[in-house]
Amino acid sequence: MATMNMVKALNSALDVMMERNPDVLTFGEDVGYFGGVFRVTEGLQARHGKQRCFDTPIAEGGIVAAAIGMGAHGLRPVVEIQFADYIYPAFDQIVSEAARLRYRSAGQFSAPITIRSPYGGGIFGGQVHSQSPEGLFTHVAGLKTVVPSNPYDAKGLLISAIEDNDPVIFLEPKRLYNGPFDGHHDRAVRAWAGRPEAEVPEGYYKVPLGKAAIVRPGQAVTMLAYGTMVHVAVAAAEEAGIDAEIIDLRTLIPLDIETIEASVRRTGRCVIVHEATRTSGFGAELIALVQEHCFYHLEAPIERVTGWDTPYPHVFEWEYFPGPARVIEALRRVMGDGR
Amino acid sequence: MTRAGIATPKPVSPALDDIVPPPLTGLRIPEPQARPGTAPDFSGLVLPHAGAARRPAVDDHPGLFRELAYDLIRVLDEDGNAVGPWAPSLDPQLLCAALMDMLVTRAYDHRMYRAQRAGKTSFYMKSTGEEAVSVGAALALTNADMCFPTYRQQGLLISRGYPLVDMMCQIYSNARDPLKGRQMPVMYSSREHGFFSISGNLGTQFSQAVGWGMACAYKRESHIAAAWIGDGATAEGDFHYALTMAAVYHAPVILNVVNNQWAISSFHGIAGGLETTFAARGIGVGLPALRVDGNDLLAVYAATSWAAERARRNLGATLIEMVTYRREGHSTSDDPTRYRPVDEPDVWPLGDPVERLKRHLVRLGIWDDAQHAAATAQAEEQVKAAAKEAEGFGTLGSDQRPSVASMFDDVYEEMPWHLRRQRQELGI
Ligand SMILES: Cc1ncc(C[n+]2csc(CCOP(=O)(O)OP(=O)(O)O)c2C)c(N)n1
Ligand SMILES: [Mg+2]
Q: Whose CA is nearest to atom 8 of ligand 1?
A: B202
Query: What's the pLDDT score for residue B24?
Result: 79
Q: Check if B85 has its Cβ closer than 6 Å to any atom of ligand 1.
A: no
Q: Check if B201 has its Cβ closer than 6 Å to any atom of ligand 1.
A: yes
Would the pLDDT of B2 be above 60? no
Contact A309 B183 (CB under 8 A): no
Q: DSSP code of A96?
A: I
- For the segment B373-382, the average pLDDT, to the nearest whole number, is 98
Would the pLDDT of A338 be above 70? no
Which ligand 1 atom is the nearest neighbour of the CA of B259? 16
Residue A238 CA, ligand 2 centroid: distance in Å: 48
Convert the pLDDT of each residue in A129-166 to its tens digit: 999 999 999 999 999 999 999 999 999 999 999 999 99
Domain locations along chain B: 64-421
How far apart, in Å, are the Cα atoms of B340 and each of A108, A144, A254?
45, 38, 44
Query: What's the pLDDT score for residue B428?
Result: 85
Work out the minimum CA distance from A281 to partner chain B, whole angstroms: 14
Q: Nearest-CA residue of chain B relative to A322?
A: B426
10 Å Cβ neighbour count for A109?
14
Q: Which of A58, A63, A83, A87 for a ligand 1 pocket mutation test, highest count of atoms within 8 Å of Cβ? A: A58
Residue B180 CA, ligand 1 centroid: distance in Å: 24
Angle at alpha carbon of residue B350, lines to B344 and B352, rounded to 5°: 80
Convert the pLDDT of each residue in B312-336 to its tens digit: 999 999 999 999 999 999 999 999 9
Q: Whose CA is nearest to atom 15 of ligand 1?
A: B230
Say which of A34, A50, A310 has its CB closest to residue B408.
A310
Q: Which residues contact A173 (CB under 8 A, 6 or more apart)?
A: A118, A119, A120, A147, A148, A149, A227, A228
Q: Which ligand is nearest to the CA of B330?
A: 1
3-state helix, strand, coil in chain A (%, to 5): 40, 20, 40
**Chain B residue numbers touching A88 (CB-CB < 8 A):** 201
Convert the pLDDT of each residue in B123-166 to its tens digit: 999 999 999 999 999 999 999 999 999 999 999 999 999 999 99
Query: What's the pLDDT score for residue B11?
Result: 64
Pick among 3.40.50.970, 3.30.1280.10, 3.30.70.360, 1.10.1040.10: CATH of B64-421: 3.40.50.970
Which ligand 1 atom is the nearest neighbour of the CA of B236? 1
- Quote the CA–CA distance of B263 and B254 in Å, as a whole number: 22
**Chain B residue numbers touching A53 (CB-CB < 8 A):** none
ipTM over cut 0.90:
yes
Say which of B31, B265, B408 has its CB closest to residue A30.
B265
Would the pLDDT of A206 be above 50? yes
**Chain A residue numbers touching B265 (CB-CB < 8 A):** 30, 33-34, 55
Per the DSSP assignment, residues forming a β-bridge with A170 are A116, A146
Phi, psi of B124 (to 5 degrees): -155, 155
Work out the minimum CA distance from B356 to partner chain A, whole angstroms: 32
